[in-house]
Amino acid sequence: MPFPRGKKPTAGVSKLSGRAPGMENQMEILNNKRSPSSPQGAPKKRSAFVDITNANKTAVSNATKKTAVKKTQKSSVAAVKTESSTKKCNSVTSAGAPEKEEKVGRSPVEKPVESPNKEPSQIQHASVPEEFDIDKEHSGDCFMTSEYAKEIFDYLKKREEKFALQDYMHKQPDLTQDMRGILVDWMVEVQENFELNHETLYLAVKLTDHYLSSTVVMRESLQLIGSTSMLIASKFEERCPPCVDDFLYICDDAYKREELIAMEVNILQALNFEINIPVAYRFLRRYARCVQASMETLTLARYVCELSLLELEMVPERGSRLASACLLLALIMKELGGWTASLEYHTGYAVSDLSPLVRKLHHMVAFPADEKLKAVRNKYSHKVFFEVAKTPLPPLHTLEGALK
């Protein structure tokens, strides 16, 4: 968690300017306006949802449905009794030739089709080598869809080509790389304060980058773009997303409701409503199962991956490749060995494909571009995240030896 226990968090910022002053005191106003909804002092979430729910209508409709269900049950019971009595009469009249009536009544189309001996999960797993099958333990769980997991992630990996990005900052005359880093650092704190899923954060950053790569904006609108991207990602990922007023509030009321809604329309139109973008976080969780990584090792890889969100240099990287490199660096940092055959099979990357990116990530963790951006490091320095931010980095010669 990014906030020390016993202290109130900070959230809510003013508009981004050249150096975006006021980012450090972004939660002071929030604590004066809202009561905390968590032990960490996060803002009260989704308070406006009470005004737009249909709780009363639901109660009335439920009562109506119960009455209708009772009537339906009574009619069905009567129908069953009538049907059973009819069957008894038919059985008495046709008792002399029951087999003949059965043959006449059954058409050739109604003959039952013999099911194969193998179940669908067994048929699907037959295409995956036994030593690389990481989904067989969940073959009996219908919620895990283990028979389709490999195909799903292969599809997501192919889909990455559709969302490939390049360095777009040269197209933005009023923005700089540092401004983007400040914005992403603030978005990390918003994700923590609203207790959103990590997928929401990754998707929001992707939406922001895609919009900035296609539209020229002014620095005064940068925070509006970031908060609107968080709103869109929350609607896509969360079961109960924060409302519009919550995102206006964390911006210190610097923007109006109409501006945020208009920006939402602009972002969706710029992306042609294609917001199902594959993110590195999903691949990382999948690939960690290949080596049965512990939660501490997985969290370390997540820490490196989340740090990469701050770097403009990492924007062109595919999510699957970035997740693979972060996991490989975490395995090296924990001295758990290198790249395995199972990882190479499921990721599609060899060590030679990941080595340049792993070196960049190692340098990124060792020498951060901006020491003032501490949201990710503070977050993963908490005991909840096993204090993985304090894990020492291996020296360069150890890293090179592991990559060979």
Any idea where the domains of the chain sit in the sequence? 164-270, 280-403
State mean pLDDT over 19-29: 45
The CATH H-level (homologous superfamily) assignment of domain 164-270 is: Cyclin-like (1.10.472.10)
Q: How many CB atoms within 10 Å of residue 258?
A: 8
Tell me what the mean pLDDT of segment 353-361 comes to.
97
Decide if 164-270 and 280-403 have a common fold: yes
Does 249 have pLDDT greater than 50?
yes
Distance in angstroms (rounded) separating the CA atoms of residues 225 and 208:
7
pLDDT of residue 107: 42
Choice between 104 and 155, residue whose per-residue pLDDT is larger: 155
Average pLDDT of every residue of the chain: 79
**Residue 182 pLDDT > 70, yes or no?**
yes
**Rounded mean pLDDT of 291-304?**
97
Mean pLDDT of 85-109: 43
Q: Does domain 280-403 have CATH number 3.40.50.150?
A: no
pLDDT band for position 75 (cuts 50, 70, 90): low
Provide the phi-psi class of 253: left if phi over 0, else alpha when psi is between -120 and 50, else beta.
Answer: left
d(Cα 176, Cα 20) in Å, to the nearest integer? Answer: 11
List, for residues 199-245, the tens digit of each pLDDT value: 999 999 999 999 999 999 999 999 999 999 999 999 999 999 999 99
Which amino acid does the sequence have at 3? Answer: F
pLDDT at 192: 95
| Res 190 pLDDT > 70 | yes
- Look at 212 and 129; give whichever has higher pLDDT: 212
DSSP assignment string, 90-128: HHHHTTT-HHHHHHHH--GGGSPPPPPSS-HHHHHHTTS
Task: Give the up-direction half-sphere exposure of residue 225: CA atoms within 13 A in the CB hemisphere.
Answer: 27
* pLDDT tens-digit readout, 300-321: 999 999 999 999 999 999 999 9
User: Cα separation of 345 and 342, whole Å?
Assistant: 5
The per-residue pLDDT for 41 is 52
Q: What is the structure's pLDDT at 83?
A: 53
* Averaged pLDDT, 97-113: 43
Q: Is the pLDDT of residue 50 over 80?
A: no
**Between 176 and 30, the higher pLDDT residue:** 176
The 10s digit of each residue's pLDDT in 276-290 is 999 999 999 999 999
